[in-house]
Structure 1
Amino acid sequence: MNFSKWIGAGLGWSFGGPIGAIIGLVLGSIADSLSKNGTPLLGDWQSKQKRPTYDSQPQARPQTQPGDFEVSLLILASVVIKADGHQDQRELDFVRQQFVNMYGQDRANHAFKLFKGINQQQIPVRQVCVQIQRMMDHASRLQLLHFLFGIAKADGMVTENEVSQIYTIAGYLGISSRDFESIKAMFYDSSDNAYKILEITKEASVDEIKTAYRKMAKKYHPDRVIHLGEEHQKGAVDKFRQVQQAYEKLQKERGF
């Protein structure tokens, strides 16, 4: 599979708006290189696609395609990696390894080639996130946030700058503070993490804990991102498992 076919497969709404501008710059430089070897230019493929419009009128969210999720993930990963003022090789390795785990070596190589081009640009964070918020379903946005915390933790610790940047991204993505704290708690080890993951306080009753568990299990169920493909369900399984573990921990502590 050549680069042109890979990037063309499964991409829909991300080729419009600010994300389209970012990817267009990257693809321009890549296409220049590919064209010297006789590889079909991406511009030919893009010119044939129906691009979405971004006006002020409310519109229904189209179903997010795997390619749109991947491009969104790469752009936001670049933002988080730069949040603490330098790029740690362990974070870059984490991004590459996650793509290998999800997509296999060949597809991961294409993704990382795109990522390196994105990483050289100044990202308009708010504009990019607003586009994602408008076009991507809530469950997929939660999955993005989970991945971003994984990147920040890849070097062994999450800095204040990284947390601040992810919090800003979450706000622009329309993710509530409670959802943010729930996912954040999955990457820390503290006595009240189980409560934070379930979005309750230590004062919650047993019935409230049970209700919270059912709510969070539904919110983080892997089937919520089934439209993104099996590879992204693996990441969703991690969130779902931590909800189960948080509930089991409270069961033992409270004896119910």
Structure 2
Amino acid sequence: MGNFIKWIGAGVGFTLGGPIGSILGFVLGSILGGFSKEDIENAKKYSSTSGNVQSGDFEISLLLLSAVVIKADGRVDERELNYVRTHFKNMYGEERANNAFKLFKGFMQNNNVSTQQICVQIRQNLTHASRLQLVHFLFGIAKSDGNVSEIEVQAIRTIASYLYISLNDFESIKAMFYEDSESAYKILEIEKTATNEELKAAYRKMVKKYHPDKLQHLGEEHVKGAEEKFKQVQKAYEQIQKERGV
């Protein structure tokens, strides 16, 4: 149990309290055959005391919200589970990903989850850039089975609203997972009627918003994840430029 407790505590701050802490305690109790208040205090001893949000906070938030989206359409697709498993392995390595997936399976089995309460806690502790990254990852899960159902879109839209992600930002990220004639414009949050100057201004704004350095505080593994959004913004800008002959 000790090593697992250390893993939970390492870099985890706000997630050990509030509604997320309650869910985490319940799931760990199921996994470890009993997880007491004392165990939580032991985990806190290993966590950062700086008050800064760490990678572990983002990680557990991501696991919880991933479980919500995967269960949204009433079925659990193995491709979606594999997406989570593979990405965590790529981000964190084999050992940490295995520990994370133990928690994830527990979250999948727990139906007593208030999405709103979880999101309120996340919103109060994660930066806007981190919350945008969460939404991007959730769309990746939904798309991993080859189809993003309307139920999944609605689940992510609800999560985004609880996280105080604007509708424009939500539609921008959503457009990164759809191929149609307006996707590039939606990614840059502009209309097709936008002038070339407005296009340039929108591009600069989106580059600033999605720049990977905004996730530097979470660690290199999350900076790499943010690069995908950044590339989508660049691709959208270049596509519109090409269409317009700019």
TM-score (norm 2): 0.93
Equivalent of 2:80 in 83, 88, 91: 91
- The structural deviation recorded for 1:32 is 2.3
- The structural deviation recorded for 1:27 is 1.4
- The structural deviation recorded for 1:48 is 5.0
Identity of aligned residues (%): 62
Matched with 1:143 is 133
Once structures 1 and 2 are overlaid, which stretch shifts more, 3-12 or 149-158?
Answer: 3-12
Q: Which amino acid aligns with 2:211?
A: H
Equivalences for residues 37-186 of structure 1 within 5 A:
42-43=39-40, 45-46=42-43, 48=45, 63-122=52-111, 123-186=113-176
User: 1:23 & 1:239 partners in 2: Cα distance?
Assistant: 29
The answer as to whether partners of 1:63 and 1:136 remain within 8 angstroms in 2 is no
User: 2:17 & 2:126 partners in 1: Cα distance?
Assistant: 14
- The structural deviation recorded for 1:69 is 0.2
User: 1:240 & 1:127 partners in 2: Cα distance?
Assistant: 30
Matched with 1:221 is 211
TM-score (norm 1): 0.90
User: 2:193 & 2:32 partners in 1: Cα distance?
Assistant: 58
The answer as to whether partners of 1:63 and 1:137 remain within 8 angstroms in 2 is no
Matched with 1:198 is 188
The answer as to whether partners of 2:13 and 2:57 remain within 8 angstroms in 1 is yes
Figure out how many residues of one structure are paired with residues of the other and give that number.
242
- The structural deviation recorded for 1:3 is 1.6
Matched with 2:13 is 12
Higher helix share: 2
Q: Which amino acid aligns with 2:128?
A: H
Consecutive unaligned residues of structure 2, counting only runs of 5 or more, are none
User: 2:105 & 2:241 partners in 1: Cα distance?
Assistant: 45
The answer as to whether partners of 1:194 and 1:247 remain within 8 angstroms in 2 is yes
Q: Note closer, same or farther for the CA distance 1:230–1:48 as it changes in structure 2 (3 Å cut).
A: closer
Q: Note closer, same or farther for the CA distance 1:47–1:167 as it changes in structure 2 (3 Å cut).
A: closer
Give the aligned CA root-mean-square deviation in angstroms. Answer: 2.1
User: 1:33 & 1:125 partners in 2: Cα distance?
Assistant: 25
Q: Note closer, same or farther for the CA distance 1:125–1:223 as it changes in structure 2 (3 Å cut).
A: same
The answer as to whether partners of 1:26 and 1:118 remain within 8 angstroms in 2 is yes
Matched with 1:238 is 228
Q: Note closer, same or farther for the CA distance 1:21–1:143 as it changes in structure 2 (3 Å cut).
A: same
Consecutive unaligned residues of structure 1, counting only runs of 5 or more, are 35-40, 53-61
- The structural deviation recorded for 1:49 is 7.9
The answer as to whether partners of 1:31 and 1:42 remain within 8 angstroms in 2 is no
Partner of 2:109, secondary structure, is coil
Q: Note closer, same or farther for the CA distance 1:216–1:47 as it changes in structure 2 (3 Å cut).
A: closer
